[in-house]
Structure 1
Amino acid sequence: MSTEDFDSVRRDPDPIRRGKRATELLTTYQQRATELARLRKAAIEEAHRELGMSYTEIAGALGITKGRITQIRSTAPAAERAFFGVGPVSIGVPYRYQTTDRERPLIAAEDAETANQLEALLTALSLATSRYQIEPDRTEPPAGDTIVVCGPKSAPIGADLLSRDPALAMVEDGGRWWIEQREDGTRIGSPSDEPTPQSADVAYVARHMIDNRVIIHIAGIHGIGSRRRDALPPSASRRRVPAGRTAADVAGRASDLRRTDHHRQRTCRRPLRLVNTCESQPRSSRRWRRAPTRSS
């Protein structure tokens, strides 16, 4: 904790505000400690793999025992954690105003399940989480690392994040939505919208680095498309993103959708296969849940 943070908490005359701020900082710095543990494990493995050092030699160089090296290798967080940032990570899903017995904000059941699955995944990666709702007019994500589950039609924030992607776009044409490659205009549509519908959908997934924080953007052509957490396979997060650069990882049904390095504005040639084909349900049977009160 920085001296400034510590002093500001200690000097705050309001005990409730002081307690809340202390809790927030504890969470933030615990997450940083967890990330440092992951980085230390990665450094040990790199020294063993790239420098040819034995674990005994690494232990001596770090001033710890070989037993401690074994403990670090078995208990430190997985490398996939870095895909989502340092943490804590907030998870946002959109709500819409629908009229039932009266007009009220409602969250689609598919979006609620997406948030539940993401929370379980992040918890398994030792990342603290919180939830927020994306209002229909929201334009900005919250502070810190975050996951935005939102298409371009649900809120301006979805359209804004898509506009930052140099590789893919989501466009509406002919009464249906498409994922479109900007380079050549190739389009991928949802199998559920084909003349012979299939019980499947397509997910878009992007990873942005904005103001030194990670923003994961997930959008299905239909709500069901964003639900499966295997749209974020471990293999995707293992691909290295060089420090100081911004990369977007995009998902589609075709194997030649490629990862784009925003910093250099060029396309990496390794194919990215993030396919989300999952059991779907007709839009007419979509279930809705009442949106909880927005967290501050």
Structure 2
Amino acid sequence: MPGQFERIAEIEDPFELLRAATERLAEAQQEVTELSRLRRRLIQDLHSQGMSYAQIAEKAGLSRGRIHQIRHTGPAPEAAFLGVGTVTVATPLRHDPLKGRPVLSLDDMATGQALEDLVRSFDMQAASDHVSVDGTIDLNRPNLVVVCGPAMSEAMRDAYATDPVLRWERTDAWQLTDTSTGHSYRSGQEADPQEPVDIAYVGRLARPDGQGSFLAIAGIHPQGSRGVAHLLNREISSLWGQVRNERFSALVRTVYDPATNEPQSTELITPVYRHGQD
């Protein structure tokens, strides 16, 4: 923006000028990325509605070659499944009685890293945050992904309770129930004999302030959360095509290596339930 450039250029202190110019350049680069992503998504949407690329080009006042170039080279539109701009990935801290301080488990660290890598693969910035040991987390933020179940955070427990279809329940162990079918799913760790299988929740839920939504991920055990990150790396385009920015939820089954907890296979075991517009 010319006005912003003029304002920055008038800064007299050279170090403040350098800082302001660097920050504005980063903002401008992100805006270019998101506008390119939006443009590619619009072309895909118009084509899926039945328009040919030649028709899109004519209506937009662009050449057919330019439309094809945008379609194939712009940033992937499915990145918007995670957010726009900088995406914050929050993982839970746990109290370590031996160290006497909060720590991040290796499984939660692996899940967070996989999600941040996915964000960066779309040329977006990733930031990390944590759910505190007492369960405190600010959910009223844009572009937020939270890896945390209901047992560790009252805020997340309240958020999950707004899901109209899938429900977290606790008897002798945690389970996830699909209220549309009445079927309940438990982790293989509660089976006899135990199995290296876990069930996880993935969904976009309403923020407490009603001003948007956030992405929620939680396995009955941490291996399930790792499975969701694994599935998103393969299926994010398909999920984006089904739900776009709407609120939704689904359950994921993960088979993992019991020695490393690394996901070996993941699959959706419920439909992707759409909750409605954000």
* TM-score, reference length from structure 2: 0.77
Amino acid at match of 1:131: S
Distance 1:226 1:37 in 2: 31
Q: CA deviation at 1:8?
A: 9.0
With over 3 angstroms needed to count, the CA separation of the structure-2 counterparts of 1:21 and 1:221, relative to structure 1, is farther
Distance 2:21 2:131 in 1: 27
Distance 1:47 1:197 in 2: 50
Distance 1:171 1:32 in 2: 42
Distance 1:165 1:17 in 2: 47
Where does 1:8-27 land on structure 2 (aligned, <5 Å)?
A: 26-27=25-26
Amino acid at match of 1:172: R
With over 3 angstroms needed to count, the CA separation of the structure-2 counterparts of 1:239 and 1:13, relative to structure 1, is farther
Distance 1:153 1:7 in 2: 52
What is the aligned-residue identity percentage?
29
What SS class does the counterpart of residue 201 from structure 1 fall into? strand
- Number of aligned positions between the proteins: 257
Q: Which runs of 5+ in 1 are unaligned?
A: 265-296
Contact 2:247–2:274 under 8 Å retained in 1:
yes
Superposed CA deviations along residues 164-215 of structure 1, whole A, max 9, x for unmatched, are 21111212211x1101234565311011211121111111101135455441
- Select 1:98's aligned residue among 96, 99, 104: 96
What SS class does the counterpart of residue 30 from structure 2 fall into? helix
* Runs of 4+ residues deviating >6 angstroms: 5-22
With over 3 angstroms needed to count, the CA separation of the structure-2 counterparts of 1:222 and 1:18, relative to structure 1, is farther
Where does 1:129-140 land on structure 2 (aligned, <5 Å)?
A: 129-137=126-134, 138-140=136-138
Matched, 1:45 2:44: yes
RMSD: 3.3
What SS class does the counterpart of residue 250 from structure 1 fall into? strand
Q: Which residue of 2 aligns with 1:88?
A: 86
Q: Which residue of 2 aligns with 1:249?
A: 249
- Select 2:273's aligned residue among 256, 259, 269: 259
Matched, 1:239 2:242: yes
Distance 2:9 2:140 in 1: 26
Matched, 1:220 2:188: no
Where does 1:124-203 land on structure 2 (aligned, <5 Å)?
A: 124-137=121-134, 138-141=136-139, 143-174=141-172, 176-183=173-180, 185-203=182-200
Distance 1:209 1:29 in 2: 29
With over 3 angstroms needed to count, the CA separation of the structure-2 counterparts of 1:132 and 1:139, relative to structure 1, is closer
What SS class does the counterpart of residue 130 from structure 1 fall into? strand
Distance 1:158 1:106 in 2: 19
Q: Which structure carries more relative contact order (alpha carbon 8 Å, separation 6+)?
A: 1
Q: CA deviation at 1:50?
A: 2.9
Q: CA deviation at 1:66?
A: 3.4
Contact 1:188–1:252 under 8 Å retained in 2:
no
Amino acid at match of 2:156: G
Contact 1:110–1:223 under 8 Å retained in 2:
yes
